[in-house]
Structure 1
Amino acid sequence: MKRALISVSDKTGIVELAKELDKLGVEIISTGGTSKKLQEEGINVINISDVTGFPECLDGRVKTLHPNIHAGLLAMRSNEEHMKQVKELNVDLIDLVVVNLYPFKETILKDGVSREEAIENIDIGGPTMLRSAAKNYQDVAVVVDPRDYSTIIEEVKNKGEVSLETKFYLCKKVFEHTAHYDSLIAKYLIKEVGEKDLPETITMTFEKVQDMRYGENPHQKAAFYKEIGKTTGALTEAVQLHGKELSFNNINDTNGALELLKEFEEPTIVACKHANPCGVGSGESIFEAYKKAYEADPVSIFGGIIVANREIDEQTAEEINKIFVEIVVAPSYTDKAVEVLTSKKNIRILKLDNIETKSPSDSLDLKKVAGGLLVQTINSVLLPDEELKVVTDRIPTDKEMDDMLFAWKVVKHAKSNGIAIAKDKTSIGIGPGQVNRIWACKQAIDHAIEHLGEESLKGASLASDAFFPFDDCVEEAYKAGITAIIQPGGSIRDQDSIDKCNKYGIAMVFTNMRHFKH
């Protein structure tokens, strides 16, 4: 290794690397602020202008975009014609490139950043050098990550060069890095343009938060990645106060619970199991909400996840501690509540500021399928703009309407086919993920009877995530004592269900909006 080019925005570890290269007799070419920094540290540096024969110009926009640089990077040492040309052109070869890029991500994440500032922080020369060097990885080592500096020094010290295996690994990292960088730029520009339609091509980038012991099952590998940007109220922003590292299933299930919690403004607890709600309660206090959620299904909540939209106090913490739960998430905890909860070794306690903040309506929901990707905007709407339509002779009471809307929120976040039954701002029965609607309906009713007794269903309200294909669900609701139903409508057999409701004195409301969730 004879010559290196160093130009970095992130100067972490760069002085130490340059000093080691200088000791090994490697010539160092550098630019702008990097050159100044290295010279201040007493390191011998060749200014980029001395190589190109052209001054840095346009406020530093043009420094390295020159044949003397790129020919030195792209010339293949094994190609006689290449070697002949660079000699004739008096181009010196470059064996090592150490470059990281203008801080575009950090720029766009700043509050109040202007479009002009963001655009100015799009690096041009840096990615070009990286790609040139990486394309010629057989002859040029190229480093974008300060964590790789020690590997470079060790190999150059011991072998006089960087091994081909390491060069190829670094090449891979370069193209990951530049793809990530370009994806950030594209995402920013798409948002600035304000495109309403989904793009013709889609490129996304995420940053790894953690590796996991395993995925959904022990034989599956897994990792957790974070979307880049301001994700207020998202699980990626939670601070873990206690307990073991979150697993793949922990994160997936907790996310499902949080999505439902965000539908409520009053003090609410959502208990979740396998990404389905199993108990939901709202009350005057978070303690009352927890009691309702627990009593709704004291069996399923065991080993489940609890999320709250108010501070957890000591009284609520003591109730939670009476059973085993995997995770508790809340915007805050009293000191006594933390003391109570942390008395259990394995419970995970997460604090999530702005827990009530919903995802932007233009956020995307992604589902990977074999050979492709399904993309849709998130289901951010609870009800359509038009008024709900009462389709039965009997108009629901105010209390029935409140319970119907409560059940509607719950069923929106239960897997389809889904039925939710609510009473007194409590989910008393949930039937999620069934292959037909009557099974979901019977399951919800059976759950209510099992945990709360038959009387709990008298005067309750039922919600269905999609229309009734037959009137059998109305029949089951009547037998159970349910007096109000909310559903999308839209079946060719709607009139059958309406007629049966009228026969039994059940109030029915159509939303003209369904909430499938698969």
Structure 2
Amino acid sequence: MTEHATTLAPDTAPVQRALISVSDKTGLVDLARALATRGVELLSTGGSAKAIRDAGIAVRDVADVTGFPEMMDGRVKTLHPMVHGGLLALRDNANHVSAMDEHGIGAIDLLVVNLYPFEETVAKGADYDTCIENIDIGGPAMIRAAAKNHGFVTTVVDVEDYDALLAELDANDGQTTYAFRQKMAQIAYARTGAYDAAVSTWMADALGEAAPRRRVFAGTLAQTLRYGENPHQSAAFYKDGANRPGVSTATQHQGKELSYNNINDTDAAFELVSEFLPGDGPACAIIKHANPCGVARGDTLKDAYQRAFDCDRTSAFGGIIALNGALDGDTAEVISEIFTEVVIAPGADQAARDIFAKKKNLRLLTTDGLSNPALGGLTYRQVSGGMLVQDRDNGAIALDDLKVVTQKAPTDAQLADLLFAWKVAKHVKSNAIVYVKDGATVGVGAGQMSRVDSTRIAARKSLDMAEVLGLSAPLTRGSVVASDAFFPFPDGLLTAAEAGAVAVIQPGGSMRDDDVIKAADEAGLAMVFTGMRHFRH
């Protein structure tokens, strides 16, 4: 029989000998005791062996099996034929069995390994050498060996699977089924793949490689979703390990589980409201289909919500609300007056929770902090046959960055509104137009093929809201307007002027900037250039 001429893997395989080597000791002693009680011989290494032995459980050191002590500060301990032979040997292959007998290699039926905490070490900001020392070598090697031989060997890499392992042994008289071993092998390879992804990504960053030859993406399942954007699409939500406050780290206090669209929209809402730090005063963002339909500052969160709501009450129905401060009862009371899908905030007091408890379909999420808009990182978008990868748009503009290009300069109040509008425009799908007055959006135009159309749509929404609010003129009268990219022609700018805008913020950089500036001067507008655009496709 050749090495590759094997029979089908057995449906069940006994677990008589286990090797346990874990960095995370959570549940270690309970697992070891449960295995020993079931008659499983235990092998272990270093700190794992000590913890098991200290608990009064019989365990044999791997060094006794290999005949070599742990050496080189623990770098070498399991990289040995006595270990890898026991993991890789095909039990139905006569040559393998003969080699095991000749060299005294005992079969290892179960491998329980979790890896050095490399990701956690990087997240703590450790220096280069410390990160290198936390790259596990022996662990991934054993995991890959055992997982390859899943026809006979069970591989467990996550603490959360300990109970499933014990249940499997109990259900099968001390054996594991092939289906279980397959499932554990897939989880094992995903773990080593994610681990290598973390290492390679960190090293690329450390070396300043903006576009490494190969880039690996990895995530951990947070939840399976009922469906994707549409009911015929399956979907799941994965976390990438970043500790950035937001929808992935939030605590959900009530309501049914979030859908694919809920997660996408909630992320958009919280990223936008995080542009406004608590020191900027209370702020609220209302999102519908990943675009803001109202954003405002206020004296209180209730005031900020009401002002944001008054930008577009129709679109706010069934929307996502994000706040930059802890939700209070007064704000919760007014929010609960209409149907809202999700409310996300850094916190929520008991009064707010009691009010929302009456709204069983409303989800309340708290994050214990805001997302830092200045943080870097990467964003990904799949295209046919590949991935587009770019830096997160963390570009920001301060007052000193603005260049006045018109004869008329903005007033201090207008400058404050221009910067507010610019922050909002960053989070509106292109072509983006945002009208703002007194720290609140009064018209938002998003995602149009023509910038002129976005300008008109935003103005039209303001006109509609004026009728709803019983105003004699739309709120765009006396407003400022932001454009996420330059006006290529004067027509969009003049449309904004017709709607009542008196000041403009835009990147500039068009070949026709002079024409646009001239048109602004003739219309009596003040205009500033940022030198930065915020396309959001």
TM-score by length of 1: 0.90
Identify which of 179, 193, 209 aligns with 1:179: 193
8 Å Cα contact 2:246/2:371 also seen in 1: no
User: What residue number does 2:264 align with?
Assistant: 252
* Deviation for aligned residue 1:107: 4.5
* Deviation for aligned residue 1:489: 1.8
Matched, 1:235 2:247: yes
Identify which of 412, 436, 443 aligns with 2:450: 436
Aligned AA (1:436)? S
With over 3 angstroms needed to count, the CA separation of the structure-2 counterparts of 1:490 and 1:162, relative to structure 1, is same
User: What residue number does 2:345 align with?
Assistant: 330
* Deviation for aligned residue 1:372: 1.0
* Deviation for aligned residue 1:44: 4.3
With over 3 angstroms needed to count, the CA separation of the structure-2 counterparts of 1:91 and 1:385, relative to structure 1, is farther
* Deviation for aligned residue 1:257: 1.4
With over 3 angstroms needed to count, the CA separation of the structure-2 counterparts of 1:10 and 1:394, relative to structure 1, is closer
The aligned runs of 1:260-409 (5 Å cut-off) are 260-264=272-276, 265-355=280-370, 357-358=372-373, 360=375, 362-383=376-397, 387-409=401-423
With over 3 angstroms needed to count, the CA separation of the structure-2 counterparts of 1:61 and 1:290, relative to structure 1, is same
8 Å Cα contact 1:208/1:224 also seen in 2: yes
With over 3 angstroms needed to count, the CA separation of the structure-2 counterparts of 1:306 and 1:102, relative to structure 1, is same
User: What residue number does 2:5 align with?
Assistant: none
Superimposed CA distance per residue, residues 198-223 of structure 1 (whole angstroms, 9 cap, x where no aligned partner): 43322233222222222222222222
Superimposed CA distance per residue, residues 230-287 of structure 1 (whole angstroms, 9 cap, x where no aligned partner): 32x3222322233222222112111111222122223211111111010111123223
Q: What's the C-alpha RMSD, in Å, of the aligned pairs?
A: 2.8
Matched, 1:211 2:224: yes
Aligned AA (2:484)? D
* Deviation for aligned residue 1:194: 6.0
Matched, 1:124 2:124: no
With over 3 angstroms needed to count, the CA separation of the structure-2 counterparts of 1:439 and 1:171, relative to structure 1, is same
User: What residue number does 1:32 align with?
Assistant: 46
With over 3 angstroms needed to count, the CA separation of the structure-2 counterparts of 1:247 and 1:37, relative to structure 1, is same
Identify which of 157, 168, 179 aligns with 1:144: 157
The aligned runs of 1:70-109 (5 Å cut-off) are 70-109=84-123
With over 3 angstroms needed to count, the CA separation of the structure-2 counterparts of 1:433 and 1:15, relative to structure 1, is same
8 Å Cα contact 2:378/2:390 also seen in 1: yes
Superimposed CA distance per residue, residues 377-429 of structure 1 (whole angstroms, 9 cap, x where no aligned partner): 11111228973222222222223322222222221111001111111111111
Matched, 1:514 2:523: no
Give me the whole-angstrom Cα distance separating, in 2, the residues matched to 1:332 and 1:16.
36
With over 3 angstroms needed to count, the CA separation of the structure-2 counterparts of 1:474 and 1:141, relative to structure 1, is closer
With over 3 angstroms needed to count, the CA separation of the structure-2 counterparts of 1:205 and 1:5, relative to structure 1, is same
Aligned AA (1:391)? V
Give me the whole-angstrom Cα distance separating, in 1, the residues matched to 2:162 and 2:348.
43
8 Å Cα contact 1:384/1:511 also seen in 2: no
With over 3 angstroms needed to count, the CA separation of the structure-2 counterparts of 1:11 and 1:347, relative to structure 1, is same
With over 3 angstroms needed to count, the CA separation of the structure-2 counterparts of 1:423 and 1:128, relative to structure 1, is same
* Deviation for aligned residue 1:359: 5.2
Superimposed CA distance per residue, residues 139-189 of structure 1 (whole angstroms, 9 cap, x where no aligned partner): 333222345456655666636743333333222222111122223333444
Give me the whole-angstrom Cα distance separating, in 2, the residues matched to 1:70 and 1:301.
61
User: What residue number does 2:3 align with?
Assistant: none
TM-score by length of 2: 0.87
User: What residue number does 1:52 align with?
Assistant: 66
* Deviation for aligned residue 1:299: 1.1
With over 3 angstroms needed to count, the CA separation of the structure-2 counterparts of 1:403 and 1:101, relative to structure 1, is closer
Superimposed CA distance per residue, residues 445-484 of structure 1 (whole angstroms, 9 cap, x where no aligned partner): 1011110253422221111111112221133223222222
Give me the whole-angstrom Cα distance separating, in 1, the residues matched to 2:59 and 2:360.
56
Give me the whole-angstrom Cα distance separating, in 1, the residues matched to 2:348 and 2:51.
47
User: What residue number does 2:4 align with?
Assistant: none
Quote the sequence identity (%).
46
Give me the whole-angstrom Cα distance separating, in 2, the residues matched to 1:315 and 1:421.
28
Aligned AA (1:283)? G
Give me the whole-angstrom Cα distance separating, in 2, the residues matched to 1:204 and 1:55.
37
Aligned AA (1:466)? A
8 Å Cα contact 1:384/1:512 also seen in 2: no
Identify which of 203, 216, 220 aligns with 2:233: 220
Give me the whole-angstrom Cα distance separating, in 2, the residues matched to 1:262 and 1:147.
34
8 Å Cα contact 2:243/2:249 also seen in 1: no
User: What residue number does 2:17 align with?
Assistant: 3
Matched, 1:488 2:507: yes
Give me the whole-angstrom Cα distance separating, in 1, the residues matched to 2:183 and 2:114.
17
Give me the whole-angstrom Cα distance separating, in 2, the residues matched to 1:59 and 1:154.
37
Aligned AA (2:500)? G
